[in-house]
Amino acid sequence: MLCEVQDLGRLGWAEAYERQRALAEQRKRDEIPNQLLFVEHPHVVTLGRNAHEENILAPREVLERAGIQMFETNRGGDVTYHGPGQIVGYPILDLNGWKRDVHAYVRTLEESIIRALNQFGIQGERSSLNTGVWVNGAKICAIGVHISRWVTSHGFALNLDTDLNYFRYIVPCGLSAPVTSMEQQGVRATRAEVIDALVHHFSECFEFEVQVLETAQ
């Protein structure tokens, strides 16, 4: 199966969301092959479908003053933060042509990220607590997915050299599980290098043939 890969670079969350939606619709109609988009968002806090308001600690004004936008989304999961230094991946896949299995999808996504991290000497692991990829009890990559007619959207957010201070706005009580980044784990890598690794392992784990598209941005 073919999967087109595209790095859209810096893109606002709302624009990226629209883009995903349009692609997912096209994918449902089988007009395009599977897609894997990479983006980097400006500071934004998003609320998943199961989000608990209490997990956003700062009032909207404080977030605004800190230059953070806020959006409600239809992905699974709670509150999360995206921002510069984070590699956000949005796979738009038709699972009808793969496995119609939500768990298998999420586990495979995790597996490809764990393998990519391993390439940089980081031991990523799963946690029974929460979906995503963890390093020594700190979350390095968050996952939240939406599925409609077995077509996926949303995806994962891997901290490369994210300013982790921004996560404190959504930390639910000072008792939070810590977050970490590849940089904090002592890895110096460029965004392009990490995306290369992610694409490679993504294609291996999902058994997709990938085609990297040149990007305008």
Contact residues for another protein (CB under 8 A)?
48-50, 52-55, 57-59, 62, 74-78, 99-106, 129-132, 137, 143-149, 168-169, 171-177
Question: Among 178, 172, 185, 183, which Cα is nearest to 45's?
Answer: 172
Beta strands in 11-120 (DSSP E): 34-40, 44-47, 69-72, 79-82, 86-92
Residue type, 13: W
Rg (CA), the chain: 16
Question: Among 145, 147, 127, which Cα is nearest to 135's?
Answer: 127
Active site residue 173: yes
The token pair at 174 is 């000072």
Least separation in angstroms between residue 210's CB and another protein is 23
Least separation in angstroms between residue 38's CB and another protein is 20
d(CA 141, CA 134): 7
Length of the chain: 217
Least separation in angstroms between residue 207's CB and another protein is 18
Residue closer to another protein (CB basis): 70 or 189 = 70
The catalytic position among 3, 141, 173, 205 is 173
Least separation in angstroms between residue 196's CB and another protein is 26
Residue closer to another protein (CB basis): 42 or 172 = 172
Question: Among 105, 106, 101, 98, which Cα is nearest to 1's?
Answer: 98
Residue closer to another protein (CB basis): 121 or 137 = 137
Residue closer to another protein (CB basis): 174 or 186 = 174
* Active-site annotation, residues: 173
